[in-house]
Amino acid sequence: MKIHGNTSQNFPIKGLDLDGAGGQGRQPFRHRIFPERARAEFEHFLLRPSGQDYYLALMRDEFMQSLAMEFGMETQAARLAVVFLNGEYWGLHYLKEKEDADFVAYYGDTSPDHLDYLEGYVVARAGDTQQYDAMMQFLRTHDVRDPANYAHVQTLVEVPSYIDYKVAEIFNYRWDIGNHRLWRPRAPGGRWRWLQFDNDVGFGGFAAVPPPWAFNMLAYDLEPNGPWTH
228 domain-assigned: no
d(CA 95, CA 82): 10
230 domain-assigned: no
Give the tens place of pLDDT for each residue, 169-221. 999 998 777 788 999 999 999 999 999 999 998 998 887 888 988 989 898 88
pLDDT band at 1 (very low <50, low <70, confident <90, very high): confident
Question: Which pLDDT score, from 0 to 100, does residue 16 have?
Answer: 93
What is the side-by-side order of every strand in the sheet holding 193-194?
A: 123-126, 115-119, 181-185, 193-194
Which residues span the domain enclosing 33?
2-222
229 domain-assigned: no
| Contact residues for 11 (Cβ-Cβ < 8 A; gap 6+) | 49, 54
pLDDT band at 11 (very low <50, low <70, confident <90, very high): confident
| Contact residues for 154 (Cβ-Cβ < 8 A; gap 6+) | none
Q: Hey, which residues does 124 pair with through a beta bridge?
A: 118
117 domain-assigned: yes
Is the pTM of the predicted complex or chain greater than 0.85?
A: yes
- Average pLDDT of span 43-49: 95
* Number of domains present in the structure of the chain: 1
CB distance 112 to 101 below 8 Å: yes
